[in-house]
Amino acid sequence: MADELTIRDNVPNQYVVVKGDTLWGIAEMFLADPWKWVDIWYSNPQVENPHLIFPGDVIGLVSIDGELRLTTIVRGEASNTLKINTDQADENGVVKLRPMARITPIFGAIPAIPREHVEGFLSGNRVLASEELKSAPYVISGMEGRLLLGAGDSIYARGEFDANLPAYQIYRMGKRYQDPVTKELLGYEAIELGTARLSDLQGDIATFTLERTTQQVAVRDRILPSDEAMLQTFFYPSEPPAGIDGVIIDSGRGVTFIGQYDVVLINVGDREAITPGMIFRVNRRGDRVRDPVNNERLQLPEENSGLLMVFRTFDKMSYALVLDSTLPMRVGDPIVNPGF
């Protein structure tokens, strides 16, 4: 592990987690390669939800079976959970852990990345296969024949619905995504317009109440069961599988120059075994220039421009957040394993 993990110089032996911290920020504090977090974190089996870190927790470096690891030294009051006593250690510095039982509120744990930058993408837009979106149930009318509708309005929709699933999301077909290298169709971005609750179902005609809308809902907009309950809330920095690389194919907010905390779409997903938390390095494409002596056209080399973390995956694509940006990134820039 000493060969694989490099702990930064002058790191504190202990650190008290504060509100606003992120797991990525703490990983950067201790590790030269913060995406190796899962390799250094020690999950104390005596602590409930040992992967989670809460404001007020004291974390630090300890020796576990002769290896230097990070773990929770003391649980803070904000976690309202187990505390561990580190008063005694053997001659090798191995910590003796003793629990004091309480109950853990999961919602208080610090996130992997700043939530405010990804909130709308965690439970909003999706990337779907064209046939999945085109075959989805659709809005046929509003109450009293209204064609443009908002929160509080009732709508009618046609399709296959499950009376046991009351929560739905409404979408409009967005961009069509094609792999820039293979030209394969990757899917369509489904733009979320709001949420609706099923109030009545008669055959294939359903009545919904719009609970929240970000845009006006119109006829032909599509309705899909809410996937909020299935979304992964917590994830941990890690490396992608060896040999997997890709390309930034779009900016989530439509900006030309991509920087820190911008959301991007990349052309790898579930089928490449990509999972939330995986880190990629972005290499900015070199410019095309003309040799001033012989007038030859040249391609300048790529430059390391920062890191991004995947936070939501689909079959052939993923959403990711730019964590660090030393140079402006652009659509078309390649992404690679951060360790290479």
Q: With helix as H, strand as E and coil as C, how does the chain read? A: CCCCCCECCCCCCEEECCCCCCHHHHHHHHECCHHHHHHHECCCCCCCCCCCCCCCCEEEEEEECCEEEEEEEECCHHHCCCEECCCCECCCCEECCCEECCCCCHHHCCCCCCHHHCHHHHCCCEEECHHHHHCCCEEEEEHHHCCEECCCCEEEEECCCCCCCCEEEEEEEEEEEECCCCCCEEEEEEEEEEEEEEEEEECCEEEEEEEEECCCEECCCEEEECCHHHCCCCCCCECCCCCCCEEEEEECCCCCCECCCCEEEECCCHHHCCCCCEEEEEEECCCEEECCCCCCEEECCCEEEEEEEEEEECCCCEEEEEEEECCCECCCCEEECCCC
Q: Does domain 121-230 have CATH number 1.10.150?
A: no
Question: CB within 8 A of 94, min separation 6: which ones?
Answer: 62, 63, 64, 65
Counting beta carbons within 10 angstroms of the beta carbon of residue 44, is it exposed (0 to 12), middle (13 to 18) or buried (19 or more)? middle
Residues 72-81 have a mean pLDDT of 69
The predicted-structure confidence for 256-298, as pLDDT tens digits, reads as follows 899 999 999 999 999 999 999 999 999 998 888 888 888 889 8
Count CB-CB contacts under 10 A for residue 159: 16
CA distance 138 to 37: 44
pLDDT class of 169 with cuts at 50, 70, 90: very high
pLDDT value of residue 291: 86
The tokens describing 45, both together, are 């089996």
pLDDT value of residue 79: 56
pLDDT class of 138 with cuts at 50, 70, 90: very high
pLDDT of residue 85 exceeding 70, the answer is no
Separation of CA 143 from chain center: 37
Contact 319, 311 (CB under 8 A): yes
Q: What is the mean pLDDT of the chain?
A: 85
Region class of 254: left (phi > 0), else alpha (psi between -120 and 50), else beta:
left
Contact 275, 268 (CB under 8 A): no
Query: What are the start and end residues of each CATH 2.40.30 domain in the chain?
Result: 121-230
pLDDT value of residue 84: 40
pLDDT class of 204 with cuts at 50, 70, 90: very high
CA torsion through residues 213, 218, 222, 224, sign: positive
pLDDT class of 97 with cuts at 50, 70, 90: very low
pLDDT of residue 104 exceeding 50, the answer is no
pLDDT value of residue 73: 86
Q: How far is CA 333 from CA 108, 179, 249, 267, 275, in A?
A: 36, 13, 8, 11, 21
pLDDT of residue 101 exceeding 60, the answer is no
The predicted-structure confidence for 223-259, as pLDDT tens digits, reads as follows 999 876 556 667 899 999 999 999 999 998 888 899 9
The predicted-structure confidence for 32-52, as pLDDT tens digits, reads as follows 999 999 889 998 776 677 788
pLDDT class of 220 with cuts at 50, 70, 90: very high
pLDDT value of residue 230: 58
pLDDT value of residue 3: 46
pTM: 0.81
| End-to-end Cα distance, the chain | 18
pLDDT of residue 95 exceeding 50, the answer is no
Residues 161-184 have a mean pLDDT of 92
pLDDT of residue 145 exceeding 90, the answer is no
Q: Which residue has the higher pLDDT, 340 or 97?
A: 340
Query: What are the start and end residues of each CATH 2.40.10.410 domain in the chain?
Result: 246-336
CATH architecture of 246-336: Beta Barrel (2.40)
